Amino acid sequence: MNVKHVSREGAGAADDGAPAGAAAGSTGRRMEAVISASFVLLLIAAMARFLTHHPGASNTWWVIGLTSLLAVAYVARPAVDGEIPLPWRRAWLGAFVLGWVVLVLQAPSFAWSAVAIVYTALQLLPTRAALALITVLTVLVVVAQLRINGPDPLLIVVPPVVAGLAATVFVHMQRQSARQRSLIEDLVQTRRVLASSQRQAGVLAERERLSREIHDTLAQALSSQLMLLQAAERLWDADAEAAHRHMSTASDIAERNLVEARRFVHDLAPVDLASGGLPEALQALARRESAAGSAAGSPAGGPVVRFRIDGEPVPLPPAVEAGLLRVAQGAVANVREHAHASDAVLTLSYLDEDVVLDIADNGRGFPPDQDARRSAPHRGHGLRAMEARLRQLDGTLTVESRPGEGTVVSAAVPLRAAGPVPAPEDQE
C-alpha cells in the first residue's frame, strides 16, 4: 500500500510544479520523429507562402535564415529523458519560443507551426506553466491570422479550440501513462513480496519437515538410550550382568542412531527401509522396542511391541513407506513415554483401496473428549507430525481412546493416491 500511495503522488505531481514530461516519460522515438517532421513541413509551407506573397521583400534572407535555424533546433532538440539537465532543456525552450515569436512578427504565416511547440511545452514544463504558455501562443496565433486575413470569427475560434483539444488529449495521455506506470510498479512490488513470502513459507515448511524427521528418528533413539542408561545405572551395583546388557543394548541403539543420522544427512530416508520393505522395517522396529522395554525392567520403562500383517503385501512408493514408518515410530514413542502400557501391537493391513497401519496399546488412555494433540504440548510433535505426514500422502489419521482401555492410532493411505511404484532406474 505504501508503494501505491507514493506512485499516485508522483502521478499527480505534474499539477504541483513537477515537469509534465517527467511524469509521462518518453513518448517514443516514432512520435518524436512524427512531431519533428510535422514542424518542419509547417515551416516549409509557411516559407513557401511568404515567398509567394512577398516576393523581393527586404527581410527575405533574414526570414529564411531564422526559419532554417528553428527547423534545425527543433529536430535536434534535447530529449525529454536524455542526460541534459531539465533547467537547460527549459532554457532551450525559452530561446526557441523567443526565436519563433520574432519569426511570426516578421511573417505571420509561421504562426500555425505553434502546434508542435504546444507538444514540446507540455513535455518540458509543469502543467500549469505549459498551459499558460499555450494560452500566450494561442493569442499570438489569433493576432497573426487577423493581421493576414482581417476580422474573421472562424480564425478567432479555431486556434483556441485546436490548442485546447491538443492540450487536453496530451495531459490525459500523460496521466494515463502515469497511472499505468504506477500499476506496473505496484505489480512488480507485489510479485517481489509474493516471491519473498513463498520463499519464507518454503523455508518454514522445510524447517517443520526437518524437525519432524529429527523427532521421529534421532530424538526417539536418544530417548531409548537414556532409558537404558538410567536402568544400567540403577543396576550397576546390584546386578552387574544386567547393567552390562543394558549398556550393550544402548550401544547398539547408539550405533544404529549414528547410521540413521548419516542417512538423515544424506537423503532423510529411514535406514530400516534400506534393506527391505515396510513390513520388514516395522518388524525391526517392534523387535528393537521390545528389547528396550525388556531391558528397562518395568512396564513404565517400555512395552513389548508385536507386529502383525493382514492381507497380501503390495509394493508401495518410497514416500508412502517412509511416511508410514515414521508414523509408527512416532506412535510407539508416544506409547513408551506416555501410555504406561505393557503391550503394543503394530498391524499393517493391505485392503482393496487403502493401506492401513494401526498402533494399539493397553495403556491408560484418555477421555474421548480430550484433544490428544494438545494433551502434551511440551512434546512439540507427535500426533501433529503424524497428521502432517499423512496429509502430504492424501491420507488420514484416526485416534480412538478411553480411560483405562488403551489407545488405537490408525493411519490410512489410499492406494490410488500412492500412485505407481517407480522403476528401479527412476528411484536412482
pLDDT at 397: 93
pLDDT at 9: 39
Distances in Å between the Cα of 5 and the Cα atoms of 12, 201, 206, 347, 389 are 11, 27, 36, 62, 43
More confident residue, 400 or 205: 400
- What domains lie within the chain, and their CATH numbers? 2-193 (no CATH), 278-421 (3.30.565.10)
The chain-wide mean pLDDT, for the chain, equals 76
Angle between helices 86-106 and 127-149 (to 10 degrees): 10
Cα dihedral angle (382, 388, 389, 393), rounded to 10 degrees? 150
Least confident of 33-42, 77-86, 127-136, 382-391: 77-86
Using a cut of 0.95, tell me whether the model's pTM lies above it: no
Q: Is the pLDDT of residue 20 over 60?
A: no
Q: How many CB atoms lie within 10 A of CB 378?
A: 4
pLDDT in tens, 87-132: 887 888 888 888 888 888 777 777 777 777 777 777 777 778 878 8
C-alpha cell at 243: 547393567
Contact 410, 357 (CB under 8 A): yes
What's the CA gap between 311 and 84, in Å, rounded?
84
Q: Is the pLDDT of residue 421 over 60?
A: no
What's the CA gap between 42 and 46, in Å, rounded?
6
DSSP summary character for residue 26: -
Q: Is the pLDDT of residue 140 over 50?
A: yes
- What is the maximum span of the chain, computed from C-alpha positions, in angstroms? 136
Question: Cell 491538443 identifies what position?
Answer: 166
- In terms of Cβ atoms closer than 10 Å to its own Cβ (0-12, 13-18, 19+), residue 220 is buried
For residue 46, give the amino acid letter: A
Average pLDDT for 184-200:
83
Average pLDDT for 168-185:
81
- Residue 410, beta-bridge partner list: 358, 398
Contact 125, 20 (CB under 8 A): yes
C-alpha cell at 337: 513415554
pLDDT in tens, 328-357: 988 888 888 888 888 999 999 999 889 999
Contact 364, 339 (CB under 8 A): yes
